[in-house]
Chains A and B, each alone.
Chain A
Amino acid sequence: MHIVGTCSDIEKSFLRLTKAPEACEVRPVSVLRNSLRNVKEKWIEKQDYRYACDQLKSIRQDLTVQGVRDSFTVDVYETHARIALERGDHEEFNQCQTQLKMLYTELPYCRTNAAEFTAYRILYYVFTKNTLDLTTIFQFLSKEDRENECIKHALLTRCAWATGNLHKFFMLYKTAPLMAGYLMDWFVERERKQYLKYIIKSYRQSVPVDFIIRELAFESRSKAVEFLNQFPLSYTGCDQNQLDCKASLPAVASI
């Protein structure tokens, strides 16, 4: 039997429960709706991740304790997942998307954003190189799911990555829909290193740095240079605008 809260604090910090809470420590859904609204407003205003995360965990706990699993719960988890995505909080994102997966199954009428989050889940498995879950997720994708833009993009990204087609991977990175780009940011550095290794090992004598900037989808030349300067690479040509692949071969071990 779940309790119904009586607390009316809009803002409440997260405190891990060590025993069953009293009703006065828990907020009812009506208050939680205002809490969520407050978090969303403060996030737009201040972008304070620690505050938002703390508040959202507290809201989530109050919902769990009262056994509330409905469209509002979905809203809370989707909000937290998006904020975690934006700030690169992998663990929090994974917690939320795991809950959302179950909620979408339990609540067939709350699936407005299910496809979007399924797409993020696919990309998350690429990030964690979870081949097992990448295999099983296919079993849960319906025909409609495959037609969805976000899921299509995620599946194409997965395929490009799995078949070593990093050119295509970076094209898809540039056209990532909704918030997929934030998730791909988590493993873009890893794939850039891999593509750089391909280039150094397979091109002779040299390639233009511009080619690398383009293929590895850097936003700007300075960002590209920042990345490349991590490694002891050799350059050639006027203005050092060519990467000397042959001479850079020894650097591959450190990439």
Chain B
Amino acid sequence: MAPLGEIVIYHLLCVTALHSRNYIEAFDNQTACVAAVVKMLQSQKEENWTLPLLYTVCIDLRLVAQKAEGCNPQSNGKILEKAAESLLACFRVCAADNRSSDSETKRLGMLNLVNQLLKVYFRINKLHLCKPLIRAIDSSPFKDQFPLAQQITYRYFVGRKAMFDSDYKAADEYLSYAFQNCHGRSAKNKRLILTYLVPVKMLLGFMPSKPLLEKYDLMQFWDLVSAVKEGNLRGIDNVMEEHESFFIRAGIYLIVEKLKITAYRNLFRKVYLLESSHQIDIASFQAALQIMGQEDVDSDETQCIVANLIYDGKIKGYISYQHKKVVVSKQNAFPPLSSLY
């Protein structure tokens, strides 16, 4: 039977199954539908007009898989993994088409499929599988020709991955591109991007403005901003507790926690400015920590926190064990965080 016939039949079978809420059956049929589309694509030389069809059946596959997962918790990601295999097959058909002309090549479909795969891998927590796909896109001659919407989605996911890999500079670059180029009317998407861009920028030393956070309904970060600026550790704990489910669901709880290091730096800088001396007793830092909510901190722990900051270049100076003092550089003892990355 011609592939078109198969495609239509499996599509109808999938729709029927969806109608009776038989999601696993729907998924199996959609998988077969996708396979049929792949077969058709493979038989077409020097043509890529069916790419939009491929995109549609792939999106449907992912959505049906997600629905099936939701109704079958014991699957634990297995259904989405199978979906990923189908999507990879589609991707390979596109990527392998390197003999056609630039306007007829199926390689133009690569980014769309990579984005589908990235969405799946993020869902099933298998970020390491993203690497080869990212490499393929970054080395593609069509890198800048893919549609803008796809580029934004791509940068969003690659930026999030960079965040998890603690590569904050790269995360800033990708997420900023996504935010700046995302259409002003897509408020939901802009908010999503900001949810990750804001903490990354904060770690790099750039605080968001209140109007920005208000505009995109992200005031959870505003409470955080003041606590971090003041070096208020108890304040940070309170914010993290109050907005815990928000931070956890977005997957940024651990990044937000890293802002405690920034808070330590800000707090110690205040102590330094108050003492207006470049030799400060450890006991002064310890007292500041205690006032700001870390009541049970001792001299050794205080020294360790200072040592960590010195090691990272956030304080220029050294600790004298014998005199229990911190001696800081007369110039630029607390370099601006933004200069460190």
Contacts of B321 in A (CB 8 A): 203, 206-208, 211
Are the C-beta atoms of A202 and B257 separated by less than 8 Å? Answer: no
Interface of B is mostly: helix
> Among the listed A133, A162, A202, which residue makes an inter-chain contact with B311, where contact means beta carbons less than 8 Å apart?
A202
Is B203 engaged at the interface, CB distance under 8 Å to the other chain?
no
- Shortest Cβ gap from B12 to chain A (Å): 34
Residue count of chain B within 8 Å CB distance of chain A:
32
> Among the listed B127, B166, B307, which residue makes an inter-chain contact with A203, where contact means beta carbons less than 8 Å apart?
B307
Are the C-beta atoms of B308 and A138 separated by less than 8 Å? Answer: no
- Shortest Cβ gap from A6 to chain B (Å): 30
Stretch touching chain B among A44-52, A163-171, A218-226: A163-171
Is B320 engaged at the interface, CB distance under 8 Å to the other chain?
yes
Is A31 engaged at the interface, CB distance under 8 Å to the other chain?
no
Q: Which of B297-325 contact A (CB under 8 A)?
A: 300-301, 303-308, 310-312, 318-321
Find the A residue at minimum CB distance from B166: A131
Are the C-beta atoms of B319 and A204 separated by less than 8 Å? Answer: yes
| Cα-based distance from A166 to B253 in the complex (angstroms) | 20
Contacts of A102 in B (CB 8 A): 76
| Cα-based distance from A203 to B318 in the complex (angstroms) | 5
Are the C-beta atoms of A204 and B320 separated by less than 8 Å? Answer: yes
> Among the listed B253, B301, B307, which residue makes an inter-chain contact with A198, where contact means beta carbons less than 8 Å apart?
B307
Contacts of A147 in B (CB 8 A): none
Contacts of B17 in A (CB 8 A): none
Are the C-beta atoms of B310 and A201 separated by less than 8 Å? Answer: yes
Is B164 engaged at the interface, CB distance under 8 Å to the other chain?
yes
Is B261 engaged at the interface, CB distance under 8 Å to the other chain?
yes
- Shortest Cβ gap from B314 to chain A (Å): 10
Contacts of B253 in A (CB 8 A): 135, 138
With A165-B301, A165-B305, A202-B311 in contact, is A132–B164 under 8 Å at CB?
yes
Q: Which residues of B contact A (CB under 8 A)?
A: 74, 76, 125, 127, 164, 166, 248-249, 251-254, 257-258, 260-261, 300-301, 303-308, 310-312, 318-321, 327
Sample of 4 further A-B pairs with CB below 8 A, known A166-B308, A203-B320 = A135-B253, A138-B253, A164-B311, A168-B301
Q: Which residues of A contact B (CB under 8 A)?
A: 102, 106, 131-136, 138-139, 159, 162-168, 195, 197-199, 201-208, 211, 215
